Chain A
Amino acid sequence: MNLSFGLYLILNTVAVLLVAPLFVSIIKKVKARAQGRSGQSVFQIYFTLAKLLKKETVYSSHSSWVMRLTPYVSIAAMLVAALFVPLVFVPEPVGGIGNIILLLYLLALARFFMALAGLDAGSPFGGMGSSREMSISAIIEPTTIIVFAALVFVFKSLNVFDMFAASAAAGAPSTPTLILLAISLFIILVVETSRIPVDNPETHLELTMIHEGMILEQSGKNLALMELSAAVKLTLLMALLLNLIVPFGLTTTLAIGTIAVAAVLFVLKVTVLAGIIGLFESSMAKMRFFRLPSLFAMAFFFSTLIIIIEVFA
């Protein structure tokens, strides 16, 4: 492991932790505006997290170490996963960091713990959330893996770092397939981060909630960790989409100037994407749970079709 990689580990983690909450609140702001409200300040979320850290943690008397461990595992898995998706600076990959399959399964690791924590307290809300989350994640998985396979096929590498480096060198999407894949990646992003039309991140209503249901029993600093890991997940998936499709500014050299430019460009790009997600959410109603498989089936056939076109071309 060389110096630049070590530096990358620290910088990327700090950067993700700093900006992740911001992007969540940008989406919220856009949604509020779309609904005709002014919405809270985009920096409010930092105060909320700080407040949660100061509060006491409440555990159910029926809960076990699963509940206590989950927030830590969740944030650790997300932060390691975030290392697999460089935000602005792409170093040489070391020892399989950046492997796209490992990235997917790190997300699965966090989900596994979260679903168990949902069941731990014995609350019906948690169980409902866990059950739905595991079902949804299972049926979106084929689409995700097909899209990832297509990325591997287009970039001829299993590693996200190599993919980013290649797309940074090209400067713009190298094939039309990539642009079409962006649509599939967007669907995956919406599903994985529990957004409308799959889940509603705003409510605690038992009819709609999935992700919120699972973390209903979390409180205090544990809740802060869960919120933060959800934000990190959103950021890393957005970075994956953006750095592949619009790699402007992405740099492979470790120089302060280029990195500063890249960072500014990155925040701009993500803000635009967050705006799109906000508008997308505002223009849509949440789907009935059992209508989702048909949506996913559509996404699956769409991505398979793209790949087959690419393959036969």
Chain B
Amino acid sequence: MIAGLFIISLGIFVLGVLLPLAGTWQDRRIFRAGSHLCTIAGSILLGALSLFLFLTGNDIAWTAYQPVAGFSLSFVIDRLSAFFLLLISVVSICVALYAAEYNEHLEGGLRRNLLSGCTNLFILSMVLVVASANTFSFLVFWELMAGCSFLLVMYDYSRATTRKAGLFYFVMTHLSTLFVLLGIVLLFSSTGSFVLAPAGVSPVSAIAFVALLIGFSIKAGIIPFHKWLPYAHPASPTPISALMSSVMLKIAVYGLLRFLLDVFSPDVWWGILILIMGTTTAVLGIIYALKEYDIKAMLAYSSIENTGIIFMGIGLYVIFSSYQLFDLALISLLSALFHTLNHAIFKSLLFLTAGSVVHATHTRDIEQMGGLIHRMPYTAGLFFVGALAIAALPPLNGFASEVLLFISFFSSIAVADPLFKVLLFLCLGLFALTSALSAACFVKAFGSVFLALPRSPESGRAEEVPFLMLLGPALLASACIVLGLFAAQIFFIAGFTVPMPDMFLVGLLLLAMLVLTFAVLFFTASRDVRVTDTWGCGTLSQQPAMEYSGHGFSEPIDIIFSTVYRTKMKNERTFFDQKNCIFAEGKAEIRLIKVFEEYLYLPVARASYATAETVSRFQSGCLDTYLLYVFCAVIAVIVFLGWLA
């Protein structure tokens, strides 16, 4: 019966794909609205179903198609899958609500029908990846997901930047598929089946793990494979950025967890590898985010950072479970999973509200915004909740998951072996740095976008977005608050005991203090209020150019971490006299180096291009030469076979 419900929800998604496609000859809103309604209905059904499965711990299984024995498209939903399905459905509901309004304001006429349909297909493919019962169907739907997301990124294909971003994404996502394929083929060669079952300890399984880890890292945006995120997110329509950042990256996390839990028996060094990858990603991600002034690229870098934090949790889990510390391993795993859910929620909230801001101001440059809190008060409030959550401030959900990771770090110091502690200390310090920098980053983001005076005429004319574009984010914002306040209770209901402080009590205390202070001051202090100009040392009118810009805000951090940014400054001057007093002319230049692009991506690209050049010399197009090749090949085969015999 429950499996039937699952199939029905898949059917609703398929309907959502077909409906706008059927209406492609008519540019009418009704088809797109129907499609979004399908997304919402399917997601609600799927969400309820997976919540039920997650809480009861029941499994369901369904084989959809089996052409040959051994190859099948079959699905199993266990607790882990149910958790990720719940995440997909919660985000999809809110994104679909938002998209129903947002997509109408996009350019592109009939293409908007395709966008709605393809979004449904994208969500469907992610659902099927998570529900896959064997590596074969995992791979099939993984590739479907990659294809759909590529088409969605290319929505605005008439722009050159979008085409470049799309192409970059296409290459990266297929590299990811390639590595996943390699891992799965290696596993198949060692176990002989596509079933997700323990593969035992062997060198082949270790190589398979590394291949899968690279594949999933590319998809999850782990540094140094992260470069596609800050290109693809700004280029794609907002609902798509939100879905990609908050759900698709999590599918990679799911893949890694699924293989770690069910297939491999991890070794300590695997955990150390994941932990180090996670820590570097988290720190570098947020440091790069601070430098960004394109709001969507900044959010993309912040997603990279949060994926790093999730990887840290997974790394700790692997380390502890290989040391037989199962309590600590559980806490680390829960922190990773909870952060996955929380990040999905607050990051989609931030992407959607950022999309509203971009929609209202027609720019993605935060230096052109400002003062929007007066013009878009609801959007500002919602973004504010997201910023509080992502800066890990109590009592919101970002803190709830980061505190768990802190606790598992803290307790690990008491038990791990000495050399290990040094590594853990380093990672702990860097994690704290990440968390504090992300607070700085979102003070900068909220401050530049919403506070003070508008810095461009468009921002001055900005208007609040329509109701549906507020409803989706509002649901997400309330989820942020509920998941934060009731974190301890949620873990209890889910059946886990974790040393989590009771955030509801803290929330109550905060509220009580707030109300008490307000009441006391209301009765004792003066209630006179005067509204006047900002104090400006005697200047008569305040200009937007006088306020602190986003660049100015992050300047101290830029300077402190200048070695990380590898900023190159050049200053050439010529003088008329020999004592260098009378300045003639000069040139000053500050160049930001895209470290990974210039030192890693481009060399690899150039090398493969050079290889292709070399190989292409063999393709002369002349029939005689090809006959010679065939002749040589035949001789070589004969010699080889003779040598074998």
The chain A residues found within 8 Å of chain B, CB to CB, are 9, 13, 53-66, 72-73, 75-77, 79-80, 83, 94-97, 99, 101-102, 105-106, 108-109, 111-112, 115-116, 119-124, 126-128, 130-132, 134-135, 137-139, 141-146, 148-149, 152-153, 156, 158, 216-217, 220-221, 224-225, 289-290, 293, 300, 304, 307-308, 311-312
Contact = CB atoms under 8 A, between A and B. Distances in A.
A109 B394 CA distance: 7
Contacts of B371: 62
A128 to B, nearest CB: 6
B554 A221 contact: no
A53 B556 contact: no
User: Which of B410, B414, B544 neighbours the largest number of chain A CB atoms within 10 Å of its CB?
Assistant: B410
Interface residues of B, number: 83
Contact of A221 (B418, B432, B511, B521): B521
5 contacts: A61-B532, A101-B407, A108-B439, A132-B556, A158-B410
A79 B373 CA distance: 28
A61 B536 CA distance: 13
Q: Which 8 A-B pairs have the closest CB atoms?
A: A127-B548, A96-B501, A122-B452, A56-B528, A95-B502, A142-B429, A119-B447, A145-B432
B555 A131 contact: yes
Contact of A289 (B437, B450, B548, B556): B556
Given A64-B373, A120-B447, A122-B452, 17 more contacts: A58-B530, A60-B534, A75-B517, A95-B502, A102-B394, A108-B391, A108-B392, A120-B452, A122-B451, A123-B534, A124-B546, A131-B548, A134-B553, A138-B433, A144-B432, A220-B525, A221-B521
B408 to A, nearest CB: 11
A50 to B, nearest CB: 9
A143 B560 CA distance: 16
Contacts, number: 254
A118 B490 CA distance: 36
A56 B526 contact: yes
A221 B557 CA distance: 33
Given A97-B506, A134-B443, A141-B433, A56 B547 contact: no
B544 A54 contact: no
User: Which of A55, A130, A290 neighbours the largest number of chain B CB atoms within 10 Å of its CB?
Assistant: A130
B542 A130 contact: no
B526 A221 contact: yes
Contacts of A141: 432-433, 435-436
Contact of B513 (A58, A75, A127): A75
Contacts of B374: 64
B393 A108 contact: yes
B391 A112 contact: yes
A134 B403 contact: no
Nearest to B559: A290
A290 B560 CA distance: 7
Interface in B506-521: 506, 509-511, 513-514, 517-518, 521
A53 B410 contact: no
B644 interface: no
Contacts of B526: 53-57, 220-221
Contact of B509 (A60, A80, A158): A80
B171 interface: no
User: Which of A58, A132, A142 neighbours the largest number of chain B CB atoms within 10 Å of its CB?
Assistant: A142
A64 B425 contact: no
Contacts of B528: 55-57, 220
B289 to A, nearest CB: 13
B196 interface: no
B392 A105 contact: yes
A80 B431 CA distance: 25
B560 to A, nearest CB: 5
Contacts of B506: 80, 96-97, 102, 106
Contact of B451 (A80, A111, A120, A131): A120
B531 interface: yes
A51 B443 CA distance: 32
A217 B406 contact: no
Nearest to A292: B560
Contacts of A153: 410, 413-414
A94 to B, nearest CB: 8
Interface in B396-443: 399, 403, 406-407, 409-411, 413-414, 418, 421-422, 425, 428-433, 435-437, 439-440, 443
User: Which of A120, A127, A304 neighbours the largest number of chain B CB atoms within 10 Å of its CB?
Assistant: A127
A130 B439 contact: no
Nearest to B392: A105
Contacts of A61: 531-534
A111 B528 CA distance: 27
Contacts of A290: 556, 559-560
B277 interface: no
A51 to B, nearest CB: 10
Nearest to A65: B373
Contacts of B414: 152-153, 156
A9 B506 CA distance: 12
A101 B405 CA distance: 11
Contact of A80 (B407, B446, B510, B555): B510
A137 B304 CA distance: 22
Nearest to A75: B517
Contacts of B511: 76
A146 B428 CA distance: 7
B500 interface: yes
B129 interface: no
A76 B547 contact: no
User: Which of B428, B432, B505 neighbours the largest number of chain A CB atoms within 10 Å of its CB?
Assistant: B432
Given A99-B501, A308-B422, A56 B529 contact: yes
Interface string B610-638: 00000000000000000000000000000
Contacts of A13: 513
Contacts of B232: none
B388 interface: yes
Contacts of A57: 526, 528-530
Given A53-B525, A132-B556, A102 B501 contact: yes
A116 B534 contact: no
A146 B525 contact: no
A300 B529 CA distance: 45
B86 interface: no
Nearest to A125: B535
B488 A130 contact: no
B409 A139 contact: no
Nearest to A66: B451
A300 B544 CA distance: 39
Contacts of B552: 127, 131
A225 B421 CA distance: 42
B433 A80 contact: no
Contact of A139 (B407, B433, B499): B433
A119 B548 contact: yes
A146 B432 CA distance: 9
A62 B534 contact: yes
A131 B556 contact: yes
User: Which of B403, B443, B450 neighbours the largest number of chain A CB atoms within 10 Å of its CB?
Assistant: B443
B453 interface: yes
Interface string B458-469: 000000000000
A217 B553 CA distance: 18
B560 A122 contact: no
Contact of B425 (A97, A106, A119, A304): A304
Contacts of B393: 105, 108-109, 112
A79 to B, nearest CB: 5
Nearest to A220: B526
